């Protein structure tokens, strides 16, 4: 087993290493959050080690490859020249000065928090924990997770009898803990990652200062809050705000369809107001790791306090219903063309959860495909970012991407994700019937189009 030199244990020593870019940073979880974060630290010349249990990811990174579309292989090669490496060997955690946890926090089959990735990671860290290390959790979760789940495992299972620092003056047998929520927005090319302010909540003042210094070296602004729980709630507020407003506009869309009004025209007009209004847009359902998941984390935790988050639960109910609305729209459109959905050949355009990204997490397209198949439809899909859809946590489709040729063979084309490189005019011209869930065909006039 690899041995390491004695750790720097003082606050001043670790702060000095951070400021001099000598602090060794370990990133656990090399997905859509962890890998970009590790590359930011590499850009600033920190020695970075990425940890992941997925050997495929580790091998690809160490061979200068990338499995995330928006991260070029050249970025990986550049990071490697600056000391970046990936590993599945968690014994190397003992050499890290700071350990940042970026693992998934999905829902289980009952829409309850699944913290298994966090707990498994904590079990993996604990045997290699040493005094003076800074451990930061970034995974989105309910308020209290850092203090109620992460810290007890680290304290109980480390081999040196270490405890988490709570007081103003950390002792030699303590480690430091903070929470800083990820704020990744895949596909956003208008805001640089380093321009997104970083919220930080430390378990004690020194942990907060060290975490702010660590993040302040790669982000232009840090926002300290009073505790890890406050930082955890901040993240949930951000995403629940979006979830509730998307639910509102989805409900208004359903009403506008009955009233024969164009919700997109109405949103555009309302957006001209220079104050008090921020536009949100309807769609076929919520996707991504955060917005469909986070409200359930808070509503589950609220029950511990004998509190029901009725407003949030209603928003989740409306958004969850949207794929069923798409199904009904497709069935109705086919019916008006004297065709049944049972046996109909249907092409789903776009399966990523939003445009121009290679991310399937919680994508409504997957639910829509399954619903169509259950009704007996013969479903194909096309997405330039996904040549194949296999098995996920909640689906097992085993489908291969079809070519965008002979569009007239399909009884209906359903636009679920409005990727920029689709030629929508051609799709309308060559298709028999187009159901548009994203207003991708705006400006195209045709009786073939059904906007839902």
| Residues classed as catalytic | 290
Q: Which long-range contacts link 393-401 to residues 24+ away (Cβ below 8 Å)? A: 393/106, 394/109, 394/366, 395/366, 395/370, 397/366, 397/369, 397/370, 399/369
Instruction: Name the DSSP class of 107.
Output: B
CA distance 249 to 124: 43
CA distance 402 to 419: 16
Tokens standing for residue 272: 């001209």
Sign of CA dihedral 83, 86, 91, 97: positive
CB 244 within 8 A of CB 311: yes
What percent of the chain is helix, strand and coil (3-state, nearest 5)? 40, 15, 45
CA distance 45 to 364: 39
Q: How many CA atoms lie within 13 A of 257 on its CB side?
A: 15
CA distance 161 to 168: 20
Tokens standing for residue 264: 């997109």
Separate counts of helices (H) and strands (E) for the chain = 14, 16
The b-or-e profile of 156-175 (16+ CB within 10 A means b, else e) is eebeeebebbeeeebeeebb
Tokens standing for residue 416: 């679920």
Residue-wise DSSP of 359-401:
--TT-HHHHHHHHHHHTT-EEEEE-TT-SEEEE-SS-EEEEEP
């Amino acid at each position: 087993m690899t041995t390491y030199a004695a750790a720097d244990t003082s606050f001043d020593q670790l702060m000095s290493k951070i400021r001099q870019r000598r602090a060794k940073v370990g990133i656990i979880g090399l997905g859509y959050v962890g890998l970009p974060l590790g590359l930011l630290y590499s850009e600033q010349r920190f020695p970075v080690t990425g940890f992941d249990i997925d050997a495929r990811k580790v091998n690809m990174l160490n061979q200068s490859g990338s499995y995330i579309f928006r991260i070029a292989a050249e970025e990986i090669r550049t990071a490697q020249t600056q000391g970046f490496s990936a590993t599945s060997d968690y014994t190397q955690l003992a050499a890290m000065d700071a350990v940042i946890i970026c693992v998934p926090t999905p829902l289980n089959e009952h829409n309850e928090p699944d913290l298994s990735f966090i707990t498994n990671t904590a079990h993996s860290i604990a045997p290699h924990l040493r005094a003076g290390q800074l451990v930061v959790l970034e995974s989105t979760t309910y308020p209290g997770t850092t203090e109620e789940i992460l810290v007890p495992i680290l304290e109980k299972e480390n081999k040196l009898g270490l405890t988490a620092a709570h007081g103003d003056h950390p002792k030699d047998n303590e480690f430091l803990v903070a929470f800083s929520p990820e704020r990744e927005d895949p596909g956003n090319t208008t805001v640089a990652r380093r321009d997104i302010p970083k919220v930080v909540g430390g378990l004690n003042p020194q942990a907060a200062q060290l975490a702010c210094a660590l993040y302040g070296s790669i982000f232009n602004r840090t926002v300290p809050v009073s505790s890890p729980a406050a930082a955890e709630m901040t993240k949930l507020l951000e995403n629940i705000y979006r979830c509730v407003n998307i639910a509102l506009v989805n409900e208004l869309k359903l009403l506008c369809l009955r009233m024969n009004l164009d919700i997109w025209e109405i949103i555009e007009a309302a957006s001209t107001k220079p104050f008090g209004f921020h536009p949100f847009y309807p769609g076929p359902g919520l996707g991504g790791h955060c917005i469909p998941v986070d409200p359930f984390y808070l509503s589950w935790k609220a029950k511990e306090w004998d509190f029901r988050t009725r407003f949030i639960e209603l928003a989740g109910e409306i958004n969850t219903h949207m794929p069923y609305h798409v199904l009904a729209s497709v069935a109705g459109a086919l019916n008006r063309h004297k065709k049944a959905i049972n046996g109909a050949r249907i092409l789903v355009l776009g399966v990523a959860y939003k445009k121009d990204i290679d991310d399937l997490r919680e994508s409504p397209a997957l639910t829509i495909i399954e619903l169509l198949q259950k009704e007996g439809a013969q479903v194909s899909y096309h997405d330039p970012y996904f040549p194949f859809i296999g098995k996920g946590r909640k689906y097992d489709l085993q489908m291969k991407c079809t070519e965008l040729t002979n569009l007239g063979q399909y009884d209906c084309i359903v636009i679920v994700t409005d990727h920029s490189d689709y030629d929508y005019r051609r799709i309308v011209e060559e298709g028999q019937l187009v159901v548009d869930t994203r207003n991708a065909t705006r400006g195209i006039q045709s009786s073939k189009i059904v906007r839902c």
